[in-house]
Every structure is written in structure tokens, then in C-alpha cells.
């Protein structure tokens, strides 16, 4: 049984980390499954990939804080880069012939690069279900609805997609109402809950021993996600340490993120050198081990980091990204109202405010941090749904159908991708 996954990429590590977590759980729960991922994420090779999963690396596209897209490394125009990506995806589908196709976030992909692919699947592989995966919040409703109307996403879901899987809950954000989904689209929505993150490969005691923490020291983990725009968060955190009363014994592990510009990281390392209780590293593929070992977390507040915080019930201060999307701030506001974490708007971020918020979180009793009202069962629910689809598909005998390939595919020399 074959699943193909299109992982949206454009900014940071969030999408590929989320999709790899889903893929890993699917492979663990469906023994006969093989997964092919297509993504432009430059960090795919850095993750520990499970058996029976492989990937095709697309040319990278970068989305800056303005939201404008460009080729990240190639010196090619965005239209040329998207055309290349689109043809690679179409070739992969034609050769791999997936039993299920799972698309992340955008029904037609970045710059509509999936439009020909979904048309091909619907015509040439009619028994292959198309699933759209959405995180809990995409952006402010006004922005999202305008984008979806502009790109024809409502019509795309109604015409091509069998189901919309939302890794969130309607109690926190109901996309059917907030984004005014048409009835035929809304009825395809299935809320799966948030993604519970499994414990890391190291025990908290092992991590604390490796970092040589004394029993009285509190460990603060600081993570800005991929790190591309994480300089201000870490810089402010380092400045806050100068205000820390001597009675507080804090140790800090700062994970800058692999996409932080070298000049930013160098400046932060120079500043951190003044604080002997600070350790700074670039990246880890086992972030959960360090979150579980920490006494509190200071983070930018992407979907994955938030799920990691929720999974272990850690005190946390979140400074959400507000550009180019309001998604992180909207989620942080909802969770702050539930008392799950503390959020600071980046426009209000100062060393003093950050330190006071962090110390307040450290002094909050542990039982008040975690909440049983948040559903964290997304992975088993997604696995159950896809497993059911695969079983149904294998019981259907495909019928013959005459199909005229799109010009894009006729012009493309199809080669087997091994």
C-alpha cells in the first residue's frame, strides 16, 4: 500500500516536522504501508527518517516575512522554479501511483503547483482518495477567506478532495464557521484533535546529567523553531538574564534553529558568552527530550512547539510570530485564555516583561499547567481514517478509463523514480 505526501514548505520547519510525525505514526500502525514524501524543505535530510519512507527533494522556495515567494537557492525566477517543481511532482505521481494522496495546507499547492497533479489523479487514478491536511488555524479569517476565494480553494476541495483533516479542535477554533466554509466543503471537515508528541529518545534525568545541572538549578529551554526570524526572541531573552535576581539559579539551553542567518547566530553567541550558565546549539532532531527535561520553555509558538508543550504540560512563555501570518498569535491567545501558557505579543516584548512572565510561569503549580480539555489524539485518528481508506481501496476493482494526459505530462519525459 502506497501513500504519497505533499508537504507544503515556504517558511521554517513546522510543516515538514508535522508531516513527518504523521508519517511515522502511520508507518508504525500500518505495517504494509510505504510513504513517498515530496517537499522542498532543506532540512529533510537532518531528520531521523523511519523505514519505508523516502522523499523527493524539490527545489526550495522561500517565503519571507512579507509573504512574497522566491527561489531560495537557485538563481531562477519563481515561475520557472514552480514549473520545475510541478513537473517533478506530476512525474512522481505518474510513476509511484499512490493509493492515497495527502496534501498539506494548500489544495493546489504553492503557487498552484499541484493543480495539474490533482486533475491527473482524479482522471487517471480515480480510486485514489485525495486528503487535505490543515492545522488548527491558518490565518486571520479575513486573510484566509480572501486567499481561498482568490485561488479557488473552496471549489478545489469540493471538486477534488474526499476529506479535510484538521489537526485541531472546534472548541478552540472551528474553521467551518471562522472561514465560512460552504456546506459541501464544511461536511468534508473532520477534526482530529491536536498532535500528541511522543517522548524523546533521552530521559529527563539523562539530559540533565549531560548538561551537568545541579539539583537546585532550573533548566530553561529557548527555541525559536527554525530560527530564520528568531534573533529578537533570543536576544531579548539573553538581555533578560542581566535582570535575574541572584537568588534564582537558572540554566539556559538555547536552540537557535538551523535556518538562523550566520551573522545573527554569531552575534548571539558573542552575547551569550557573557553568561556562563547559557549553552547554545544550532539544532536537534530530538527536541522533545529537551522540552521534557526543562522546567520551563520560552518559544516562538508554532504549531509543533505548542503541541510539544501541551504533550508534557510544561510551563511556557510564547512570543508568537505575527508576520506573514497571524496564526501563532491567534492560537496563543486562545491557549492563554485556557490558562495553558503565557503569551507576549512581539510588539510588547522587553527583557523585563519576558523575565517577569517566565518567573511567574516557573512558580505556577504543575497541575494548573496541563488541561484535560484539549484533545491530543490526532495521530491515531488520522491513522485509523487512512487505514480504513486503504482497506476499502484494495477491495475495489479499478475499471478501465480512457484518459488524455495533460500537455504538461505529455511534454515531460517520464522516468522511473527509484
Q: How confident is the model at residue 410 (pLDDT cuts 50, 70, 90)?
A: very low
**Distance between CA atoms of 140 and 274, rounded to whole angstroms?**
40
Contact 86, 113 (CB under 8 A): yes
Q: Is the pLDDT of residue 275 over 70?
A: yes
**Distance between CA atoms of 399 and 397, rounded to whole angstroms?**
6
List C-alpha distances in Å: 349 to 275, 319, 343, 353. Answer: 21, 8, 10, 6
94 or 313: which leads in pLDDT: 94
Residue-level pLDDT at 403: 37
**Distance between CA atoms of 261 and 157, rounded to whole angstroms?**
37
**0.85 exceeded by pTM:** yes
Element at 181 (helix H, strand E): none
Residue-level pLDDT at 75: 85
Q: Is the pLDDT of residue 371 over 80?
A: no
User: What is the number of other CB atoms lying within 10 angstroms of the CB of residue 216?
Assistant: 6
Residue-level pLDDT at 409: 45
Residue-level pLDDT at 254: 98
Listed range (40-44, 210-214, 313-317) with the worst mean pLDDT: 40-44
Percent above pLDDT 90 for the chain: 77
397 or 234: which leads in pLDDT: 234
Contact 180, 148 (CB under 8 A): no
Q: Is the pLDDT of residue 84 over 70?
A: yes
Residue pLDDT, tens place only, 287-341: 999 999 999 999 999 999 999 999 998 999 999 999 889 999 999 999 999 889 9
Q: How confident is the model at residue 206 (pLDDT cuts 50, 70, 90)?
A: very high
List C-alpha distances in Å: 381 to 26, 168, 376. Answer: 10, 12, 10
Residue pLDDT, tens place only, 100-110: 999 999 999 99
Residue-level pLDDT at 65: 59
State the average pLDDT over residues 355-366: 89
285 or 360: which leads in pLDDT: 360
Q: Is the pLDDT of residue 115 over 50?
A: yes
**Distance between CA atoms of 302 and 329, rounded to whole angstroms?**
9
Cβ neighbours of residue 265 under 8 Å, at least 6 residues apart?
Answer: 227, 256, 282
State the average pLDDT over residues 93-116: 96
Closest CA to 286 of 379, 205, 202, 196: 202
State the average pLDDT over residues 205-218: 96
SS3 164: strand
Residue-level pLDDT at 259: 87
Listed range (39-43, 105-109, 212-216) with the worst mean pLDDT: 39-43
Residue-level pLDDT at 42: 80
105 or 404: which leads in pLDDT: 105
Cβ neighbours of residue 306 under 8 Å, at least 6 residues apart?
Answer: 299, 318, 331, 332, 335, 341
Q: 115-124 and 153-160 helices cross at what angle (nearest 10)?
A: 20
- Main-chain phi, psi angles of 70, to 5 degrees: -155, 160
Q: Is the pLDDT of residue 274 over 80?
A: yes
Residue pLDDT, tens place only, 144-178: 999 999 999 999 999 999 999 999 999 999 999 99
Q: Is the pLDDT of residue 404 over 50?
A: no
Amino acid at each position: 500500500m502506497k501513500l504519497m505526501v505533499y508537504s507544503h514548505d515556504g517558511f521554517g520547519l513546522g510543516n515538514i516536522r508535522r508531516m513527518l510525525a504523521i508519517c511515522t505514526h502511520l508507518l508504525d500502525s500500518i505495517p504494509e504501508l510505504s510513504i513517498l514524501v515530496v517537499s522542498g524543505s532543506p532540512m529533510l535530510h537532518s531528520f531521523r527518517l523511519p523505514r519505508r519512507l523516502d522523499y523527493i527533494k524539490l527545489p526550495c522556495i522561500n517565503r519571507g516575512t512579507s509573504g512574497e515567494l522566491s527561489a531560495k537557492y537557485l538563481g531562477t525566477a519563481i515561475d520557472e522554479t514552480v514549473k520545475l517543481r510541478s513537473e517533478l511532482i506530476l512525474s512522481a505521481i505518474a510513476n509511484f501511483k499512490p493509493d492515497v494522496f495527502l496534501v498539506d495546507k494548500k489544495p493546489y499547492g504553492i503557487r498552484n503547483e499541484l493543480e495539474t497533479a490533482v486533475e491527473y489523479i482524479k482522471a487517471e487514478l480515480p480510486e485514489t482518495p485525495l486528503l487535505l491536511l490543515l492545522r488548527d488555524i491558518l490565518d486571520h479569517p479575513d486573510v484566509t477567506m480572501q486567499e481561498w476565494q482568490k485561488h479557488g480553494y473552496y471549489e478545489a476541495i469540493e471538486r477534488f478532495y474526499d476529506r479535510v483533516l484538521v489537526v485541531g479542535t472546534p472548541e478552540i477554533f472551528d474553521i467551518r464557521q471562522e472561514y465560512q466554509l460552504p456546506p459541501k466543503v464544511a461536511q468534508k471537515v473532520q477534526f482530529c484533535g491536536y498532535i500528541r508528541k511522543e517522548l524523546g529518545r533521552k530521559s529527563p534525568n539523562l539530559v540533565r546529567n549531560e548538561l551537568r545541572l545541579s539539583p537546585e538549578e532550573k533548566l530553561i529551554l529557548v527555541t525559536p523553531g527554525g530560527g530564520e526570524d528568531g534573533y529578537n526572541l533570543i536576544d531579548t531573552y539573553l538581555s533578560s538574564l542581566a535582570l535575574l535576581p541572584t537568588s534564582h539559579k537558572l540554566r539556559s539551553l538555547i536552540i537557535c534553529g538551523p535556518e538562523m542567518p550566520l551573522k545573527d547566530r554569531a552575534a548571539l553567541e558573542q552575547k551569550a558568552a557573557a553568561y556562563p550558565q547559557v549553552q547554545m546549539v544550532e539544532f536537534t532532531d530530538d527536541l522533545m527530550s529537551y522540552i521534557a527535561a526543562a522546567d520551563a520553555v520560552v518559544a516562538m509558538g508554532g504549531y509543533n512547539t505548542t503541541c510539544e508543550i501541551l504533550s508534557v504540560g510544561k510551563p511556557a512563555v510564547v512570543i508568537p510570530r505575527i508576520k506573514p501570518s497571524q496564526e501563532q498569535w491567534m492560537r496563543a491567545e486562545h491557549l492563554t485564555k485556557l490558562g495553558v501558557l503565557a503569551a507576549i505579543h512581539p510588539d510588547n516584548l522587553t527583557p523585563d516583561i519576558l523575565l517577569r512572565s517566565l518567573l511567574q510561569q516557573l512558580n505556577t503549580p504543575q497541575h494548573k499547567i496541563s488541561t484535560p480539555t484539549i484533545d491530543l489524539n490526532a495521530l491515531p485518528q488520522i491513522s485509523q481514517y487512512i487505514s480504513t481508506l486503504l482497506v476499502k481501496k484494495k477491495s475495489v476493482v479499478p475499471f478501465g478509463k480512457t484518459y488524455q494526459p495533460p500537455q504538461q505530462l505529455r511534454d515531460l519525459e517520464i522516468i522511473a523514480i527509484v
